[in-house]
Amino acid sequence: MSELKARALDPGLTPFERLCNVMAILRSSEGCNWDRAQNHQTLLPYLIEEAYEVVEAVESGDYDALKEELGDILLQVVFHAQLAKEAGTFGIDDSVQAVITKLIERHPHVFGERKDLQPSEVRDQWEKIKTDSGEKPSVLAGLPRTMPALTTAFRLGEKAAGVGFDWKCSSDALEKVGEELAEVRAALGENSPDRAGRLAGEIGDLLFAVASVARLEGIDPETALRAALRKFRERFESLEVELTAGGRRFDDFTLEQMEEVWQRIKKQPR
């Protein structure tokens, strides 16, 4: 066994410590040219990719995949922390301690005076603590602008709800969906120079209202949409196989004929 491998597999270290050790070796002069060439910016695409792979593993229910993907995303965390350590700004232990402190501060009902709070009450308390402490300059602060729009809609609604600004129930939000849908219809009927911009705005308002209904029912709209897209993809692929059998093409069928096949596919068990 090489000296570097022996250092990497030091049995006196915990698995997490070994991971940090391996990362330090890869970044050293004895390590890897690719790893040494990376910086926080170049690593971002990999961090985002790994996060989505964790999402896919969770949604598939594949625990073997989830085990692997969580390791991959942990690698990205350790990589960024190693870069920060080399820059003399902070180390991985600082990140770990910061999140420990945050968890204790955000759970006074556990680590302070015991209270049996419901999940929604815990969420609202979390948002209130962040605002009252001055950690966030605004109730809505802290959401990355690069998050998917539906996820952002969900979280913005959660944050506003944390200070009491929310629909009373999902049926109230559903009424708003109806209002926004009517405004989309009105924009569709317009014939003005700014029609496209107005229509885009009304469609955005409609999607935000739909996301609010989902949130109030405890449904993540991003997850729901991905599930709908997977369902559509599966059904469309079945439609494609059936219609193109024997060398036929989509052009050989009318929309009504395709719809008939589509409805039959929808009734088949998934």
What CA–CA distances, in Å, run from 262 to 190, 242, 248, 252? 33, 10, 17, 15
Which pLDDT belongs to residue 93?
Answer: 96
Helix (H, G, I), strand (E, B) or coil at 105: helix
Residues 26, 20: Cα–Cα separation, whole Å: 10
Task: Show Cβ contacts of residue 85 under 8 Å, excluding neighbours closer than 6 positions.
Answer: 91, 92
Distance from C-alpha of 270 to C-alpha of 266, rounded to nearest angstrom: 9
Helix (H, G, I), strand (E, B) or coil at 137: coil
Q: What is the mean pLDDT of each run of 10 residues along the chain (270 residues)?
A: 85 94 95 96 93 92 96 97 97 96 93 89 83 77 85 91 89 96 95 92 97 94 92 94 91 94 89
Q: Which residue has the tokens 């929808």?
A: 266
The answer to whether the beta carbons of residues 239 and 261 sit under 8 Å apart is: yes
**Res 164: pLDDT:** 86
Half-sphere exposure of 141 (CA within 13 A, CB side): 10
pTM (2 d.p.): 0.70
* Distance in angstroms between the alpha carbons of the first and the last residue of the chain: 51
CATH superfamily assigned to domain 3-104: MazG-like (1.10.287.1080)
The residue among 75, 1, 35 whose CA lies nearest residue 11 is 1
